[in-house]
Amino acid sequence: MKRTLAIIACLLLNGALFGQDKGAADKKLKAGQYFSALQIYKQLHTNAPDDTELNFNLGVCYYNLKDYAKSEEHFLKSSSQVSLELFRYKAGIAHATMKFKKAINFYNAYKLIAGNKDLTNDQINQEIEKVKFAEQAITLSRNVLIQNFTEVNTENLQSCPHIVADESSLIYCSASTSGKLDANGEPQALIFAVDHKENSWQQPKILLDGVNVEGNNHVAGLSTDGQTMFIERDGDIYQSKMGIDGWDTPVKLGENINSKYNESGVTITLDDKVMYFVSDRPGGFGGKDIYKVLRLPNGEWSKALNLGPIINTPYDEEAPFIHSDRMTLYFSSKGHQNMGGYDVFRSVLEDRVWSSPENLKYPVNTVDDDLYYSLIASGKVAYVAGHRDDGKGSSDIYRIVLKDEFQQYHVLNAVVKGKDIPIAAKITLIDDATKKVHGIYKSNVKTGKFIMLIDPEKSYSIVVEADNYTSHSSKLNFDVNKEETLEYKLDAK
């Protein structure tokens, strides 16, 4: 009798613990914490391998972590009780694995059964249009070379690539290689840098000096010269500048940019006068939108302006990148005409109006998420993060050689010195034809080095200024056929 009671007590206790663990996992699943939810579900699954709800939830976790094979494996073990949702997920898996006809069949089956429940027919129809567009897009492949950036990619997630204009350094995010988790049990995101020296990429280094703190750290943007970095923490944007001993302690941007809602991707023009950023604040066109702020005469930022319905859609926009010409905006969107997930688009500012966004097409874009497209000055090489067949993890960084793009800008290397000692200076480049500022640069406080981006067909004037030194003004003399470093010497006052 006592043995029977003990067995019953153990069963009741195990059932209670199962319920508690499942409740915790369900809560994480609902919050989008798929990695930590997966760890709990996997433990529960060892004792209940045929539990249909557990298998379904495992399928959802693997789906969102981009492991479509395991996702499909667990969905197959789910019962008809969740068949409606299964149609949507199976359609998504078929879409992500480029089985387009199968995807359309699943979406149509979902519409037939669901009616107006859950997702509306308009949303399903949009997914069907994405599948059709993807099927067509892969037949019109661009002349580009896609390279897995193996120097940084691991089995952990790599994302948010930001390249310096001369391709001398890349700043990016990676899940902690130590296995460290954040407060929610998800892999902690950290910011890394990798430099290109002597024709090869060096070992990636984790950034210190207050750049990475407890919790998640995402690089949201990088200035053209790589001297200013923007960091997203807990939905707010911070700014850090390169100092003598590395990156300065990040400073939170003001209320005209940050709000009580979530801000993320950032990009700033070459002349330091316009900043674009992403926010999900109310008053937009739906989801996350791209906004801009203007530099005021007092150095502060203006109030934020939404870029409007040409750029923003009822869906999410993310990861803006303004090219060195200050007129070409690249961004990722779940809206517009795309292949699936986030696609990268290009829009050009003409007479203060943005052109209709152009999809960068396959294979720059894929059926999965393509985010943080970042170009070097010439326009011939780009970096992007996403999930592709040759990837090591759920998101890898890729280098794209754009063979079908023309040379846009030439990079000039230069250095500022005072009595042979490198100094920090502000460099202003002026277009001789328009008399407008073409670019504003800052020399590295440690090396005195800086880069300038020029159109080889134009002429420029240069002004170099530094505290406690006399300024320098002259015509910019350069030869694009020579590899040289221009040198500017300033005299002490």
pLDDT digits (tens, 9 = 90+) for 180-224: 777 667 788 899 999 998 889 999 999 876 788 887 889 999 998
Indicate the residue among 364, 385, 402 that finishes a domain: 402
Q: Within this chain, do residues 52 and 104 fall inside the same structural domain, yes or no?
A: no
Q: Within this chain, do residues 353 and 479 fall inside the same structural domain, yes or no?
A: no
Q: Is 101 left (phi over 0), alpha (psi -120 to 50) or beta?
A: alpha
Contacts of 135 (CB under 8 A, 6+ apart): 100
Q: Which residue from 384, 388, 370 is spatially nearest to 170, judged by alpha carbons?
A: 384
Give pLDDT tens digits for 280-310: 999 999 999 999 999 999 999 999 999 999 9
Whether the Cβ atoms of residue 58 and residue 38 lie closer than 8 Å to each other: yes
Q: Is the confidence at residue 9, as pLDDT, over 50?
A: no
331 membership: H or E segment, kind and range: strand 328-333
Give pLDDT tens digits for 95-107: 999 999 999 999 9
- Looking at the structure of the chain, the number of domains it has is 4
Give pLDDT tens digits for 402-450: 988 776 788 888 999 988 788 889 999 999 999 999 988 888 888 888 8
> How would DSSP label each residue in 272-330?
S-EEEEEE--TTSSSSSEEEEEEB-TTS-B---EE--TTT--SS-EEEEEE-TTSSEEE
Determine the pLDDT at residue 19. Answer: 55
Indicate the residue among 402, 426, 444 that finishes a domain: 402
Q: What is the domain-level CATH number for residue 381?
A: 2.120.10.30
Q: Within this chain, do residues 26 and 52 fall inside the same structural domain, yes or no?
A: yes
346 membership: H or E segment, kind and range: strand 343-350
Q: Within this chain, do residues 398 and 421 fall inside the same structural domain, yes or no?
A: no
Give pLDDT tens digits for 380-392: 999 999 999 888 8
Determine the pLDDT at residue 240. Answer: 94
Exposure string (b/e) for 311-326, b if CB count within 10 Å is 16 or more?
Answer: bbbebbbbbbbbbbbe
Q: Which residue from 364, 379, 293 is spatially nearest to 332, judged by alpha carbons?
A: 364
Q: Within this chain, do residues 69 and 174 fall inside the same structural domain, yes or no?
A: no
Q: Within this chain, do residues 342 and 362 fall inside the same structural domain, yes or no?
A: yes
Q: What is the domain-level CATH number for residue 29?
A: 1.25.40.10
Domain range for 101 is 83-139
DSSP 443: -
Indicate the residue among 369, 385, 402 that finishes a domain: 402
Contacts of 466 (CB under 8 A, 6+ apart): 416, 418, 423, 424, 425, 426, 490
- Per-chain mean pLDDT for the chain: 89
Q: Within this chain, do residues 210 and 319 fall inside the same structural domain, yes or no?
A: yes
Q: Is the confidence at residue 260, as pLDDT, over 70?
A: yes
Determine the pLDDT at residue 8. Answer: 43
Determine the pLDDT at residue 14. Answer: 47
Tell me the pLDDT band of 316, cut-offs 50, 70 and 90.
very high
Q: Within this chain, do residues 35 and 115 fall inside the same structural domain, yes or no?
A: no
Q: Within this chain, do residues 162 and 259 fall inside the same structural domain, yes or no?
A: yes
Q: Within this chain, do residues 234 and 365 fall inside the same structural domain, yes or no?
A: yes
Determine the pLDDT at residue 12. Answer: 39
Q: Which residue from 399, 401, 404, 375 is spatially nearest to 385, judged by alpha carbons?
A: 399
Q: Within this chain, do residues 418 and 391 fall inside the same structural domain, yes or no?
A: no
Q: What is the domain-level CATH number for residue 436?
A: 2.60.40.10
Q: Within this chain, do residues 186 and 295 fall inside the same structural domain, yes or no?
A: yes
